[in-house]
């Protein structure tokens, strides 16, 4: 991490006056507020200065770039809040040596799904860490180091480490899904009860079948019959997956596809609408193949095993761009009306298709599946070796419990 990207010191330094320290705190608090409210795209020096009631120059002298602001927010406030909440979840489940407590797990789930600025900013920066190298270092050096320690602890057996990994996915997904549009209700107390019941089954890992997922290569996604359009759609998902939505300019997307920027805008009103069209087409192509893949494994090995295998396949090395795309779609829905409306409609369609007559159990299952899916694609950044975990120790009992 470069000097300009390091968080401001919190202890008083020689020659530093109380007023300077107060202004340091004002800048950090303002940056947290802006990151949580407006996201990465809105986290600017000017916005932070306005929020802090200071001059832009005062902010620049402390944290001169957006990246420096984000790293400081993560290191001093957002990262510790998320790390502590995840530890509370593991500890409440009795997975860190403490006494299991359903109430403690409920509290941890409540916290992870709360509207606290620290956790909203943590969700934002966790996604941005997939596309920004400096934020990634900050995240992996702090939370990532703790996750690795929890899931590679030689004092715990493989089943215990795998349960920790699964609960961490639940917690990460809960934090990321807290603001997702159209998500049905998940009662933390109900989820805590089911998670605790799954942990108590003490199921031991089994050898999962080695069945590769359907072709997940980006190049295989589009076949509209228009080669130029296919190239444009591929360019936007590839660049957003590599650089993030905010950093992928329409000029770069057009150049990568062979379009002119003017021709791009003749087809789409905005980058957001182009990205939405690309991701919706990708979902149509992938969902049917993924459902068939899960159903085929479930017919031979059971649904719990099929879910564990699917998680493993999505976490394999080489799929970083695809996982980032999933997370960027969700992050954009927190700030972009076009993405919000589309994801809300998609989620409502899922609930309408699976939940009949206000069935609370089915509603919880659909919402839990969406939440866990976000955790599945978020965990590999923090735990690169997560494919070695045996998630069936949790998926099999949870399926039996109705999740």
Q: pLDDT tens for residues 66-75? A: 999 999 999 9
CA-atom Rg of the chain in angstroms: 22
Q: Tell me, what's the pLDDT at 4?
A: 43
Q: Tell me, what's the pLDDT at 204?
A: 94
For the chain, residues with pLDDT lower than 50 are: 1-5, 9, 11-12, 357
Q: How far apart are CA 230 and CA 240, in angstroms?
A: 16
Q: Tell me, what's the pLDDT at 356?
A: 52
Q: How far apart are CA 184 and CA 203, in angstroms?
A: 29
Token pair belonging to 179: 């603001």
Query: Sign of torsion, CA 172 174 179 184?
Result: positive
Query: What distance, in Å, lies between the first and last C-alpha atoms of the chain?
Result: 41
- Exposed (0-12), middle (13-18) or buried (19+): which is 14, by Cβ within 10 Å? exposed
Asked if 165 contacts 86 with a C-beta cutoff of 8 angstroms, the reply is: no
Strand segments, DSSP code E, in 151-232 are none
- Which pLDDT tens digit goes with each residue over 139-182? 999 999 999 999 999 999 999 999 999 999 999 999 999 988 76
Residue 402's CB is within 10 A of a number of other CB atoms, namely 11
Nearest to residue 178, comparing CAs of 256, 123, 106?
Answer: 123
Q: How far apart are CA 62 and CA 388, in angstroms?
A: 42
Residue 182's CB is within 10 A of a number of other CB atoms, namely 19
Asked if 338 contacts 344 with a C-beta cutoff of 8 angstroms, the reply is: no
Asked if 167 contacts 89 with a C-beta cutoff of 8 angstroms, the reply is: yes
Q: Tell me, what's the pLDDT at 357?
A: 46
Asked if 102 contacts 187 with a C-beta cutoff of 8 angstroms, the reply is: no
Which ranges constitute the DSSP H helices of 64-132?
Answer: 66-73, 79-92, 102-112, 117-128
- Which pLDDT tens digit goes with each residue over 263-283? 899 999 999 999 999 998 888
Q: Tell me, what's the pLDDT at 3?
A: 41
Does the structural domain 218-400 have CATH classification 1.10.357.10? Answer: yes
Q: Tell me, what's the pLDDT at 85?
A: 98
Give residue for tokens 């899931």. 151
CA–CA distances in Å: residue 256 to residues 131, 194, 236: 18, 48, 9
């Amino acid at each position: 991490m470069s000097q300009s990207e390091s968080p401001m010191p919190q202890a008083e330094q020689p020659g530093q006056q109380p007023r300077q320290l107060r202004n340091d705190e004002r800048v950090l608090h303002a940056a947290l507020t802006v990151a949580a409210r407006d996201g990465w795209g809105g986290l600017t020096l000017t916005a932070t200065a306005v929020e802090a009631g200071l001059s832009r120059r005062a902010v620049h002298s402390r944290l001169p770039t957006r990246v420096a602001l984000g790293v400081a927010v993560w290191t001093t406030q957002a990262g510790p809040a998320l790390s502590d909440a995840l530890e509370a979840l593991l500890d409440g489940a009795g997975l860190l040596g403490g006494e299991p407590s359903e109430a403690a797990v409920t509290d941890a789930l409540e916290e992870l799904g709360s509207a606290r600025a620290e956790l909203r900013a943590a969700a934002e920066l966790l996604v941005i860490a997939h596309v920004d190298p400096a934020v990634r270092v900050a995240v992996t050096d702090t939370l990532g180091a703790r996750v690795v320690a929890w899931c590679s602890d030689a004092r715990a057996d493989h089943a215990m480490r795998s349960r920790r990994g699964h609960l961490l996915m639940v917690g990460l997904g809960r934090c990321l899904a807290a603001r997702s549009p159209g998500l049905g209700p998940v009662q933390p107390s109900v989820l805590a009860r089911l998670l605790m019941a799954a942990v108590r089954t003490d199921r031991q890992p089994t050898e999962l079948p080695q069945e590769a997922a359907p072709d997940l290569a980006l190049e295989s996604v589009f076949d509209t019959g228009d080669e130029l359009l296919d190239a444009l759609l591929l360019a936007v998902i590839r660049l957003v997956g590599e650089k993030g939505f905010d950093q992928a300019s329409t000029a770069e997307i057009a150049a990568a596809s062979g379009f002119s920027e003017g021709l791009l805008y003749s087809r789409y009103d905005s980058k957001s609408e182009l990205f939405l069209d690309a991701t919706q087409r990708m979902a149509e192509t992938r969902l049917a193949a993924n459902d068939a893949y899960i159903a085929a494994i479930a017919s031979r090995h059971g649904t719990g095993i099929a879910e564990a295998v699917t998680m493993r396949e999505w976490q394999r090395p080489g799929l970083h761009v695809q996982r980032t795309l999933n997370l960027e779609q969700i992050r954009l829905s927190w700030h972009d009306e076009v993405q919000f409306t589309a994801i809300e409609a998609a989620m409502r369609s899922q609930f309408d298709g699976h939940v009949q007559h206000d069935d609370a159990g089915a509603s919880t299952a659909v919402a839990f599946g969406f939440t866990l899916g976000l955790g599945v694609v978020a965990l590999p950044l923090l735990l690169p070796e997560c494919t070695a975990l045996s998630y069936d120790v949790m998926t099999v009992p949870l399926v039996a419990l109705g999740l």
